[in-house]
């Protein structure tokens, strides 16, 4: 016996829906307007406790910002639509990147899409851009006059124009109270100063990376992952700050992309500096190709390096290995490089 079907949340009936709403509910393979072909995406069982069916849509509030889910309240929204959404800071104009879909979510509060952006909203956005340019020049001039140790990055006006957010970077804390009072007096609006890190600065400003492409953080990267010098060493990269650091001065985010692959491939391979037994005798590992599973070994009383497959060598005796560990400095951390490129031990997020 089938369990009792849950009731559909209150809303207009099929006969009261507009064509665009019917298109949202119909299967893409059905061209004719037929109510019987409407998708029945309500499960055949009761909702789990604390869960509910909601119509959600993915919206980007900034070109380089993350995709945020909003409750579209039964509105049919497609990718590319401009919408007005509510946030903790106020109303913001954003762009839909994930079309509306029905999904089972928890009953926690989900911020809403207020409406589709109208022509007036788009004109308001252009006015805000002009205000942002003027506010940027004013704030930069006041920072120089007050000699504050801060770098202004970006100014953003909320959609209603009743609040301006100033993003800046600084090496430490800054007393900007006098600056805020001056800006509020001249701009006649609420002022918010927000300090961001160097990675968020690169995400906002954008740029070209060492690969010749636009920065990952400014295009598709949503969350900053911890990056360490060990990742560069595992990938056998040249430990030169100019080679392994990005435009922000931190270690390249792309080191994370292949880190797990290199870790998996290096399992069972002796590290550089280890003593090993080869078919020609005992030697020390001087280099290794993780992807090819090849080791370059310097045999005793030889200066040239010989290549061996990992399967063709064995670890040296424990006593010899212990003596070798006491005499080699190959595995010690590169303290000089660490002073230039600090290990990232925490994740960074866009404000």
Answer with the residue of higher pLDDT: 10 or 18: 18
- Give residue 6's pLDDT band: very low, low, confident or very high (50, 70, 90): very low
Q: Helix crossing, 177-187 with 119-146: angle to 10°?
A: 140
**Joined tokens for residue 87:** 């946030």
Q: With the C-alpha atoms ordered 205, 208, 211, 214, is the resulting torsion angle positive or negative?
A: positive
- Give residue 33's pLDDT band: very low, low, confident or very high (50, 70, 90): very low
Flag whether the pTM goes above 0.85. Answer: no
Looking at the chain, the whole-number percentage of residues with pLDDT higher than 70 is: 74
Q: With the C-alpha atoms ordered 198, 200, 204, 210, is the resulting torsion angle positive or negative?
A: positive
Please report the pLDDT score of residue 27 as a whole number. Answer: 41
Task: Provide the 3-class DSSP secondary structure of residue 26.
Answer: strand
Residues pairing with 305 in the sheet: 298
Each residue of 324-333: pLDDT tens digit? 455 444 444 4
**What's the CATH architecture for 272-330?**
Roll (2.30)
Q: How many CA atoms lie within 13 A of 6 on its CB side?
A: 17
Please report the pLDDT score of residue 308 as a whole number. Answer: 86
Answer with the residue of higher pLDDT: 342 or 112: 112
Query: Would you mind telling me the total number of residues written for the chain in this entry?
Result: 351
- Given a cut of 60, is residue 287 above it in pLDDT? yes
E strand spans, 61-124: 67-71, 82-87, 90-106, 113-116
Q: 122-195 and 272-330 share one CATH topology?
A: no
CATH number corresponding to 122-195: 3.30.300
d(CA 263, CA 270): 13
End-to-end CA distance of the chain: 51
- Given a cut of 50, is residue 227 above it in pLDDT? yes
- Give residue 345's pLDDT band: very low, low, confident or very high (50, 70, 90): very low
The domain locations on the chain are 14-117, 122-195, 272-330
Of 315, 323, 239, nearest to 277 by C-alpha is 315
d(CA 348, CA 351): 9
Rounded (5°) CA angle 134-136-138: 70
- Give residue 58's pLDDT band: very low, low, confident or very high (50, 70, 90): confident
- Given a cut of 90, is residue 26 above it in pLDDT? no
CB proximity list for 123: less than 8 A, separation 6 or greater: none
Q: How many C-beta neighbours within 10 Å does residue 197 have?
A: 17
- Given a cut of 60, is residue 23 above it in pLDDT? no
Please report the pLDDT score of residue 158 as a whole number. Answer: 86
d(CA 81, CA 329): 59
The H-or-E segment that residue 281 falls in is strand 281-289
**Joined tokens for residue 295:** 């080791």
d(CA 338, CA 242): 13
Please report the pLDDT score of residue 276 as a whole number. Answer: 87
Each residue of 231-261: pLDDT tens digit? 888 888 888 888 888 888 888 988 998 888 8
Whether the CB-CB separation of 37 and 16 falls below 8 Å is answered with no
Q: Average the pLDDT over each of 152-166, 187-201, 254-268, 328-342 and give the range with the smallest value.
A: 328-342
Mean pLDDT along residues 196-212: 86
């Amino acid at each position: 016996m089938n369990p009792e079907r849950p009731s559909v949340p209150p809303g207009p009936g099929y006969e009261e829906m507009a064509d665009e709403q019917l298109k949202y509910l119909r299967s893409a393979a059905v061209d004719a307007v037929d109510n019987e072909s409407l998708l029945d995406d309500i499960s055949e069982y009761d909702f789990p406790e604390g869960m509910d069916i909601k119509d959600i849509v993915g919206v980007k509030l900034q070109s380089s910002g993350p995709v945020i889910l909003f409750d579209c309240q039964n509105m049919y929204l497609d990718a590319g639509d401009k919408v007005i959404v509510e946030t903790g800071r106020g109303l913001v104009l954003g762009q839909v990147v994930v079309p509306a879909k029905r999904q089972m979510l928890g009953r926690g509060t989900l911020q809403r899409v207020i409406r589709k952006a109208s022509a007036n909203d788009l004109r308001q956005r252009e006015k805000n851009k002009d205000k942002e340019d003027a506010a940027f020049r004013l704030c930069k001039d006041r920072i120089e006059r007050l000699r504050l140790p801060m770098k202004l990055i970006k100014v953003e006006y909320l959609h209603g124009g009743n609040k301006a957010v100033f993003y800046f970077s600084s090496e430490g804390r800054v007393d900007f109270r006098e600056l805020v009072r001056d800006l509020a007096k001249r701009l006649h609006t609420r002022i918010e100063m927000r300090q961001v890190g160097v990675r968020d600065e690169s995400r906002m400003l954008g740029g070209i990376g060492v690969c010749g492409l636009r920065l990952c953080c400014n295009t598709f990267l949503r969350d900053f992952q911890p990056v360490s010098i060990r990742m560069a060493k595992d990938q056998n990269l040249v430990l030169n700050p100019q080679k392994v650091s990005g435009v922000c001065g931190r270690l390249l985010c792309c080191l994370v992309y292949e880190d797990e692959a290199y870790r998996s491939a290096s399992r069972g391979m002796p590290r550089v500096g280890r003593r090993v037994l080869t078919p020609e005798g005992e030697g020390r590992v001087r280099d290794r190709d993780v992807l090819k599973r090849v080791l370059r070994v310097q045999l005793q009383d030889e200066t040239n390096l010989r290549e061996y497959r990992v399967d063709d060598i064995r670890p040296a005796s424990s006593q010899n290995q212990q003596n070798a560990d006491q005499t080699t400095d190959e595995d010690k951390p590169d303290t000089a490089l660490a002073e230039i490129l600090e290990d990232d031990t925490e994740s960074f997020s866009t404000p």
